Amino acid sequence: MSDLPEIRPTNDMSAEERRRLVESMRPEDAETVPELHEVGVPDELRQAIETAMSRYPQIRSAALPALWAVQRHYGWCTPEGMRQAAAVMGVTPGYLESLATFYDLYRTTPVGRHQVLVCHNISCWMRGADDLLRAFCEAAGAGAQEADHGGVSSADGELFVSGFECLGACDIAPMASIDERYYGPLEAGDARTAVDQLRSGAEVLPDKALAKRQAAGGPEPEPDPRVSRAEAGPAAPQAEPRGRPEVTETRMLFRRVDEPGLASIDTYRRLGGYRSLERAFHDLEPEELLGVLEESGLRGRGGAGFSMGRKASFLPRGETSKYLCCNADESEPGTFKDRELMEKNPHQLIEGVAIAALAAGAGWGFVFIRGEYAEVADILDRAVAEAYEAGYLGENILGTGSRVEVVVHRGAGAYICGEETALLDSLEGKRGNPRLKPPFPAIEGLYGGPTLINNVETLSNVPHIVANGAEWFKGFGTEQSPGTKVVSVSGCVQRPGNYEVELGIPARELIHGLAGGPPEGREVKAWFPGGSSAPVLTAAELDLPYSFEAMADAGSMLGSGAIIVADDSISIPELALRTARFYHHESCGKCTPCREGTNWTVKMLERVMSGEATPMDLDIIASVQENIIGHCLCVLGDSMAMPVGSMVAKFRSEFEETIARARDAVPVHAAEPAVPLAPEPGGSGGEAEQPPVDVGSVGT
């Protein structure tokens, strides 16, 4: 007879059974699960962790919430705090430590009491983020170099200042997250004011708080007759915007976006909210819902642009447990539309989640929101609680016997978790690493069950389609790109923000008409049409229709619907370096082409900026990008390779001029012969380290 323990799903075991299983399968000297009586867990901490565990079908999904609880209790993820959390969850401390060291927002060493994160990614960099970070460091008495490389605490232990990759608030660039609240646009002088306010306990920059900012388009435009619906009461008066745009929006998802109290269920229902949910649960069968969604032509708004209805139809029917995941891990530089949708109209998303879950036959819905959006997550939590109380969520929705449980799950700072299978791993309480596909999530996703994954904007469209029908929805946009699109416009424009337009509008109208175009005296030099991962386009392509098919035909992509504008004051080589550094930082390192390709791209672009490169290095940069594309486990590597490759191709002369200018700036006695990063044909290439030029040949 075998002495091996009985194999059962660990989620079905008690904590004591899991301890015995771990001990039976590990060497005697391996780490064990700590006993509760050994660690003395504070009551408040234990209650927070057990409450989180009770919200999930499998308790390991509470690992990230448990670490958040530890960090909030102690100020950082202390070794003892992780031991305490491990005892409550019945896992090893090493398991929790492996998560704490993976995600950017967990602190595994002591830090200052107040946290200041200064975004220095593309859009914020274009608008002065480097100066803002230096100003915060000077005000806090901290070193700017350390702040830019992992963060630094002030000598008095009051402040922790860190440069941070995109925080999803490019509309208020340059900006900072201060104690998990967003502020911007900021000037260097605001840093001293904010630091003084933090130290004195005063309210921080009340006039710069994002929570008080209205939508970029200003007062509610005249409603499109196709969008307006029976609503009680007139639209609330609103302040004049920063220069009224001549081009108007077509607001559907952003309809009445600045209505006072819209985030509450009472206001949302007064304006017609949850009527679609009532119709879906009372009058329609799941198959009918699927048919309407598929017929509408609604394409995913998160980047891939795949048909939402078709994706939902891939889930198998039957009694197996199915799940719906809303991808709110909005981390693509330049993208901030989902943040504003959730912040200002959370019930629209919750209604869409519940209806989509019914259509897919899913009993659980998870909103995976990026950890940086703490303020928005609080709003969502309140809205979900209101929906439960009103009977729109839970075990017996509206007395129909249908069940949909919704959980708001907070990430902890990892761009890779925007990739759908990395999101699933993170949601299961693991490090966010992409999975091999197939199987695809629709067949084997969360907890091994069929899973539908859609973006915030995609799901927010669902109530409108159910209320008005597929043909109505197809009346907007183009034949292949129906509907409206919320477009985030940032960078070198005068009115950055979110604008909702019909797909097919000329890009020029978005950039110049709605967003105001570049500052006076400047011209558009390059623009990303779909976030930082999209190949860049030039000013000559501004009159293209902004649609999925037109962007693809131009050699780029609509992606997440985020336009980043670089005017003629911006250095394209430095823009390429900033872009590459972001993806290098965010690579999970699981596959070689991405891990090594992003690393070598950063090194080679740094050589360009320092004047050490040669024209041959530009050929190598282009070659590396070509060999990354299509050879990675997920699309993160491609997301760097596509824009960087396009910048080298379209602005090669500027790269060459940058090399020459930087080389000329080096004193003659300090200059050394430039050595290519790869050998010349038939030569050794000197002593330089050799990059993996043919990255695509490496197996993944």
Peptide bond into 174 cis (omega under 30): yes
C-alpha distances out from residue 472 to 272, 385, 462, 484, Å: 18, 32, 13, 12
By residue count, the chain amounts to: 700
> Which of these ranges, 100-104, 217-221, 400-404, 546-550, has the smallest mean pLDDT?
217-221
pLDDT tens-digit map of 659-680: 999 998 876 555 455 545 444 4
User: pLDDT tens digit string along 445-477?
Assistant: 999 999 999 999 999 999 999 999 999 999 888
- Residues 635 and 579 placed together within one structural domain of the fold: yes
The reply to whether 59 and 126 lie within a common domain is: no
Distance CA 146, CA 163 (A): 9
Q: Let me know if 275 is exposed, middle or buried by CB neighbors in 10 A (0-12, 13-18, 19+).
A: middle
- Among the candidates 212, 241, 262, a domain finishes at 212
Specify whether 337 is located in the same domain as 467. yes
Q: Which helix (H) or strand (E) holds 181?
A: strand 181-183
Residue 246 has a pLDDT of: 57
The per-residue pLDDT for 215 is: 81
| CB atoms near residue 438 (< 10 Å) | 9
- The pLDDT of residue 371 is 96
pLDDT at 28: 55
The number of distinct structural domains making up the chain is 5
Domain of residue 642: give its range. 572-678+687-697
Listed in order, strand segments (DSSP E) in 506-622 are: 524-528, 537-538, 562-567
Residues paired with 566 in a beta bridge:
526
Are 336 and 415 within one domain? Answer: yes
The verdict on residue 351 lying in a domain is yes
- Mark whether 14 and 144 lie in a shared domain: no
Q: Is residue 616 part of a domain?
A: yes
Phi, psi of 176 (to 5 degrees): -145, 150
Q: Cis bond leading into 245, ω under 30°?
A: no
Measured distance CA(129)–CA(120) in Å, rounded: 5
- Place 699 in a pLDDT band, splitting at 50, 70 and 90: very low
The tokens 């003892």 sit on which residue?
A: 80
10 has pLDDT over 60: no
C-alpha to C-alpha distance for 120 and 126, rounded to whole angstroms: 9
Spatial separation of the C-alpha atoms in residues 257 and 347, rounded to whole Å? 12
Structure tokens at 697: 């040949």
d(CA 676, CA 223): 59
233: left (phi over 0), alpha (psi -120 to 50) or beta: left
Query: Is pLDDT above 60 for 38?
Result: yes
Same domain, 313 and 448: yes
Look at the block and give the residue holding tokens 């969360």. Answer: 446
Claim to verify: residue 586 and residue 653 sit in the same structural domain: yes
Quote the strand ranges of 541-602, DSSP E: 562-567
Distance CA 507, CA 499 (A): 12
Q: How far is it, in rounded angstroms, from Cα 564 to Cα 336?
A: 12
Q: What is the CA radius of gyration of the chain?
A: 26
**272 CB burial (10 A radius; 0-12, 13-18, 19+):** middle
Asked if residue 628 belongs to a domain, the reply is yes
Return contacts of 144-148, CB within 8 angstroms, 24+ apart: 147/118, 148/120
| Sign of the C-alpha dihedral computed for residues 568, 572, 578 and 579 taken in this order | positive
CATH of the domain at 69: 1.10.10
**Minimal CA–CA distance to 113: which of 148, 140, 138, 84?**
140
pLDDT in the model for residue 149: 86
Q: How confident is the model at residue 363, as a pLDDT?
A: 94
- Of 212, 237, 256, the domain-final residue: 212
Query: 265 vs 696, which has greater pLDDT?
Result: 265
Residue 412, sorted as left (phi over 0), alpha (psi -120 to 50) or beta, turns out to be alpha
Strand partners, 451: 323
**From residue 511, how far is each of 247, 521, 533, 566, 650 by CA, in Å?**
10, 15, 19, 11, 20
Phi-psi region of 361 (alpha: psi -120 to 50; beta: other; left: phi over 0): left
DSSP 236: P
247 within domain boundaries: no
> Each residue of 408-439: pLDDT tens digit?
999 999 999 999 999 999 999 999 999 988 89
Whether 552 and 580 share a structural domain: no
**End-to-end CA separation in angstroms for the chain:** 40
* Token pair for 644: 């960087």
Q: Is residue 231 part of a domain?
A: no
Position 309 scores a pLDDT of 81
Confidence of residue 527 (pLDDT cuts 50, 70, 90): very high
Asked, for residue 243, whether it belongs to a domain, the answer is no
In a domain, 226, yes or no: no
Residues 612 and 692 in one domain: yes
Provide the CATH number for the domain around residue 298.
Answer: 3.40.50.11540
Which of 294, 289, 287, 297 lies closest to 309, judged by CA? 294
Whether residue 226 contacts residue 476, with contact meaning beta carbons closer than 8 Å, is answered with yes
Domain check: are 377 and 428 in the same one?
yes
- 618-631: buried (b, 16+ CB within 10 Å) or exposed (e) per residue? bebbbbbbebbbeb
39: in domain: yes
pLDDT of 625-635, one tens digit each? 999 999 998 88
Are residues 333 and 463 part of one domain? Answer: yes
Where does residue 29 rank: exposed (0-12), middle (13-18), buried (19+ CB within 10 A)? Answer: exposed
What 3-state DSSP class applies to 19?
helix
| pTM of this structure | 0.88
Within this chain, do residues 610 and 662 fall inside the same structural domain, yes or no? yes
